[in-house]
Amino acid sequence: MKENKYDEERFFEKYGEMPRSRYGLAGAGEWPALEPLLPDFSGKEVLDLGCGYGWHCAYAAAHGARSVLGIDLSEKMLAAAQEKNAAPAVTYRRCAMEDLVLPDSSVDIVFSSLAFHYVRDFVPLVQNIARWLRPGGAFLFSVEHPVFTAYGSQDWFYDAEGNILHFPVDNYYYEGPRQAVFLGEPVTKYHRTLTTYLDALLTNGFRLARVVEPPPPESMLDLPGMRDEMRRPMMLIVSAQKPA
Amino acid sequence: MKENKYDEERFFEKYGEMPRSRYGLAGAGEWPALEPLLPDFSGKEVLDLGCGYGWHCAYAAAHGARSVLGIDLSEKMLAAAQEKNAAPAVTYRRCAMEDLVLPDSSVDIVFSSLAFHYVRDFVPLVQNIARWLRPGGAFLFSVEHPVFTAYGSQDWFYDAEGNILHFPVDNYYYEGPRQAVFLGEPVTKYHRTLTTYLDALLTNGFRLARVVEPPPPESMLDLPGMRDEMRRPMMLIVSAQKPA
């Protein structure tokens, strides 16, 4: 049974208070690093795995995508997406990305923002994506960084006075579920190594175009706590292509 | 002035006691992960940056390389290489890899084992390597993992009883020198992010073939301390190609 945390009332409400939920793409710290890596959407068929509120679906549609299919496991997220980010070219569908069935060579761009760390098995998903994409198609995703998921708690290590000492890494090579705390709630996330994220693409027919660990944007460094984000990587962005 | 730690008597002696110094490739924990990634050396012109004892130079020669140029900053290391790993096809030359001058398109394979973390500026070196390589040439290197170099000490974080708690990560996005302790001696190593290691290749004309964080080999897991090596990544191996 896949965990569907975002349909729990309390968690969903807290998620709704995050800057990225309230302000969309502009509220997401990684957006300045992510946007330049986005492919040209004009006339393209796009798939968004774990679309959430649908901000990226709306962006793709606004930038000329012919069709956008946004997939999410959470009914509440999809209702919010329909309300905030509906567009004629965009379809939202409730489905676990692991269970999605699509024809071979049927999409031009596969996108996923911060969702793959909820998926237990990455390699079969990558193999599906390789099949769904047309030759020459683009695959762009962000995910929580292996440094961020390895230990489990996703919290800093503090001294007795509550000052941050450093970020802990442990059990790095032991891939699998972690009981993380996100928005004060327990959530299962799956840790996997960088090798798995990148090498799974390289050994399943993808060509890597870019690999980026987005630091906090300069403009946000003076906001509370943002300078701490320079102390450990939290996200990984990977841009890949299926060779033409 | 580049640090030349390996020419300090005490450090050089301690290095000589490491399994990889005494037993060569078989004594290096990453060898089982590295060897399958090595390109075909037959008839090739090979450059080894930071060749140390010359184990990889001898391996390339034994596997048919037409010529192998091993570069190192340390006189003592090169003397040891000449003694342990001389071969008709192999030339050892004393030179900092940052200062090396070679004709464009003059080598087929550039190799480097655990040496780039001693180099201050990675990008100019990558640009040189891209020029030195012939089209279709291979670039394979191992380096200390950014998780391992970020904090500085390269030691675990322990509890009051001396038990390992976890590995500390800090100052990840602040690239630059770290005062590491290696073999009980202070050594300057340069931390850089994974983004820099990989994206510098992708944005300077290389195609990534493989990215591997070698875990300790199964066969060594029961040796003292080896199971701890499952708790954090220590090395990164990158295999790349200059497009033909």
What does the pLDDT look like over B30-43, one tens digit per residue? Answer: 999 999 999 999 99
Work out the minimum CA distance from B94 to partner chain A, whole angstroms.
34
Does residue B221 sit at the A interface (CB-CB below 8 Å)?
no
Residues of B in contact with A147 (CB under 8 A): 147, 169, 172
Work out the minimum CA distance from B176 to partner chain A, whole angstroms.
14
What does the pLDDT look like over A92-125, one tens digit per residue? Answer: 999 999 999 999 999 999 999 999 999 999 999 9
Residues of A in contact with B207 (CB under 8 A): 207-208
Whole-angstrom distance, CA of residue B202 vs CA of residue A149: 25
Pick B27 or A142 by higher pLDDT: A142
Residues of B in contact with A157 (CB under 8 A): 157, 166, 168
- Report the chain A residue with the minimal C-alpha distance to residue B170: A231
The interface predicted TM-score (ipTM) is: 0.94
Q: What SS3 state is found at B48?
A: strand
User: CA separation (Å) from B144 to B162, B164, B221?
Assistant: 25, 20, 20
The mean per-residue pLDDT over the stretch A146-164 comes to: 96
Task: Say whether pLDDT at B23 is over 90.
Answer: no
The sign of the dihedral angle between the CA atoms of A97, A100, A104, A108 is: negative
Task: Say whether pLDDT at B95 is over 90.
Answer: yes
Mean pLDDT of chain B: 95
Share of chain A residues as helix, strand and coil, in percent rounded to the nearest 5: 35, 30, 35
Whole-angstrom distance, CA of residue B89 vs CA of residue A180: 55
User: CA separation (Å) from B118 to A113, B73, B189?
Assistant: 35, 11, 5
Is residue A170 within 8 A of residue B167, CB to CB? The reply is yes
pLDDT in the model for residue A77: 95
Inter-chain residue contact B166 with A168, CB threshold 8 Å? yes
pLDDT in the model for residue B1: 63
Minimal Cβ distance to B169: which of A166, A174, A194: A166
Does residue A157 sit at the B interface (CB-CB below 8 Å)?
yes
The mean per-residue pLDDT over the stretch A216-227 comes to: 88
Kindly write down the DSSP assignment for every residue of B113-164, as one continuous string. Answer: ES-GGG-S-HHHHHHHHHHHEEEEEEEEEEEE-HHHHSSSS---EE-TTS-E
The sign of the dihedral angle between the CA atoms of B140, B145, B150, B154 is: negative
Say whether pTM exceeds 0.90.
yes
